A = this chain, B = another copy of it.
Amino acid sequence: MKEIIVQKFGGTSVGSIERIKAVADRVIKSKESAKNIVVVVSAMGKSTDHLVGLAKEISAQPDPREYDALVSTGENVSASLLAMTLIEQGYPAVSLTGPQAGVRTETLHTKAKITDVVTDRLKDEMSSGKIIIVSGFQGLNANNDITTIGRGGSDTSAVVLAAAVGADECEIYTDVDGVYTTDPRKVENARKLETISYDEMLELASLGAGVLHPRAVECGKENNIVIHVRSSFEDGEGTRVKEVDTMESSRAVTGVAMSENEAIVSVIKVPDSPGNAGKLFTELGKAGVNVDMIIQSVEQGDENSISFSVQRDDLLQAKTISEEVAKALNAEGVETDDNVAKVSVVGVGMLSRPGVAAKMFAALGDAGINILRITTSEIKISCAIPRDQAREALNILHATFELDA
């Protein structure tokens, strides 16, 4: 018998009364194997979008404090409906708003960080045998005002609460049954992982795997909370995100990921003078353009070319800014390439196993795939390649690192 389990159900899982009843059934079933259950819920289906729509009718930039007061009501609706359903079925339950559950945040609105959880009420309700339903995505700041912690933040609420009450595990119920070696829609023999490390999950989350909010993973890592990603619709184990000893990791690469939404901008023949690259990236940063892979190449005499990759959605803006800076710096001009994708291999095992990069480059080279750019972190190697070869590259890398085994 486990002591405490925290479970999180997203907006789709609580999107109707019928779905809420299905969630209640699952919670009741879990109660057989755990003494205490704390459930974190998102707002029902599209209800947050509805509230945001009302605010946008009033203002393009609604007052942040009032925006939080408004949108936080959505989670309170689903929390009380779920508690009501459990009580109706004979299981003592209580819904708590983020503030009632003791979730304290920074004063900042719309994307406050959780600073603390005052667990008195949670402990009281648990000791009286109640299943606790907490509104995700929200907390109380030092001004006694309701804050929200950013979209997708219910994952983070769940992990923070799991840490605060000392839960055995934090279960994140979602519409997929776990984390895969790669996108199953793109690689036929993608395989569900039993476990994945926090760091690998962070790399995959930022690469667009999307099953788990990155802040939730960070928070799990900081507090060493096992996060169990599993299906709302099926029984059976999902994938556990947890600390994995790099020396014990059985393989060099855990997963491969691909993003087709990439583009490259090159500023040609920039006069070689200190601070020129700095000027370019300062302007891009001011405009909120996220720059990824940068290459600065000496081409001839005192002139460099500076080349970088951006998200394809940012290409037009990046091009305009680059052209302005190029003119100011007396560079020759700006070239762009939007036929670009990025493939990445991720694995904590590569820390103790040299040769992963060489193997990756060789596999792509053997298939005639041209590598345009490379970036690496300790546990990740990413290559920019032509977009029309991206899917082929993903399958090759999945096979090369034997991820289907």
Among B63, B69, B95, B100, the residue within 8 A (CB) of A88 is B63
| Residues 19-56 (chain A) with a chain B CB within 8 angstroms | 20-21, 51, 54-55
Q: Are A63 and B51 closer than 8 Å at their CB atoms?
A: no
Whether the pair A77, B81 counts as a contact (CB closer than 8 A) is no
In the complex, chain B residues whose CB is within 8 Å of the CB of A145: 100
B69 lies within 8 A of A95 (CB): yes
**Whole-angstrom CA separation of A73 from B58 in the bound complex:** 19
Question: Which residues of A from 66 to 94 have beta carbons under 8 Å from B?
Answer: 66-67, 69-70, 73, 76-77, 79-81, 83-85, 87-88, 94
- Docked pose: A77 CA to B54 CA in angstroms: 10
A65 within 8 A of B: yes
- Tell whether, in the assembled complex, residue A84 and residue B62 are in contact, meaning their CB atoms are under 8 Å apart: yes
B73 near A59 (CB under 8 angstroms)?
Answer: no
Q: Chain B's nearest CB lies how many Å from the CB of A228?
A: 28
- A17 proximal to B (CB < 8 A): yes
Query: From residue 336 to 386 of chain A, which have CB atoms closer than 8 A to chain B?
Result: none
Rounded to whole angstroms, the CA-CA distance of A95 and B81 in the bound complex is 25
Across-interface contacts of A97 in B (CB, < 8 A):
69
CB–CB A84/B100 < 8 A = no
CB A83 to nearest CB in B, in angstroms, measures 5
In the bound complex, residues from chain B placing their C-beta under 8 Å from that of A55 are 81, 84
Contacting residues, chain B, for A234 (C-beta < 8 A): none
Which residue of the partner chain B has the closest CB to A57? B17
Give the shortest distance, in Å, between A296 (CB) and chain B (any CB). 46
Q: Is the contact region of chain A dominated by helix, strand, or loop, or is it mixed?
A: helix
Tell me the number of copies of this protein.
2
Task: Say if the beta carbon of A186 comes within 8 Å of chain B.
Answer: no
Task: Report chain B residues within 8 Å CB of A77.
Answer: 51, 54, 70, 73
Option from B54, B69, B73, B83 in Cβ contact (under 8 Å) with A66: B83
Docked complex Cα distance between A280 and B73 (Å): 48
Residue of B nearest to A121 (CB): B144
Considering the complex, give the chain B residue whose CB is closest to the CB of A83. B66
Whether A66 lies near B87 (C-beta < 8 A) is yes
A269 CB → nearest B CB, Å: 49
Q: Cβ of A87 and Cβ of B69 under 8 Å apart?
A: no
Contact: B88 with A59, CB < 8 Å?
A: yes
**Chain B residue at minimal CB-CB distance from A18:** B57
Q: Which residues of B contact A100 (CB under 8 A)?
A: 144-145
The residues of B that contact A59 with a CB separation of less than 8 Å are: 84-85, 87-88
Q: Which residues of B contact A81 (CB under 8 A)?
A: 54-55, 58, 66, 70
Is B58 in contact with A88, judged by CB distance below 8 angstroms?
yes
In the bound complex, CA of A76 to CA of B97 (Å)? 13
A239 CB to nearest B CB, Å = 33
Please name the residue on chain B nearest to A77 by beta carbon: B73
Contacts of A69 in B (CB 8 A): 76, 79-80, 83, 95, 97
Q: How many angstroms between the C-alpha atoms of A94 and B70 in the bound complex? A: 12
- Asked whether B58 lies within 8 Å of A85 as measured between CB atoms, the reply is yes
Interchain residue pairs A-B with the least CB separation, the first 8: A69-B80, A70-B80, A73-B73, A66-B84, A17-B57, A63-B87, A59-B88, A66-B80
A interface residues, Cβ below 8 angstroms from B: 17, 20-21, 51, 54-55, 57-59, 62-63, 65-67, 69-70, 73, 76-77, 79-81, 83-85, 87-88, 94-95, 97, 100, 121, 144-145
Q: A20-B58, A63-B88, A66-B94 are in contact. List 6 more A-B contacts (CB 8 A).
A: A17-B57, A54-B77, A58-B81, A66-B81, A70-B84, A73-B73
A-B contact pairs, 27 of them (CB 8 A): A17-B58, A20-B58, A51-B77, A58-B84, A58-B88, A59-B85, A59-B87, A59-B88, A62-B84, A62-B88, A63-B84, A63-B87, A63-B88, A65-B94, A66-B81, A66-B87, A66-B94, A67-B80, A69-B76, A69-B79, A69-B80, A69-B83, A70-B76, A70-B81, A70-B84, A73-B77, A100-B145
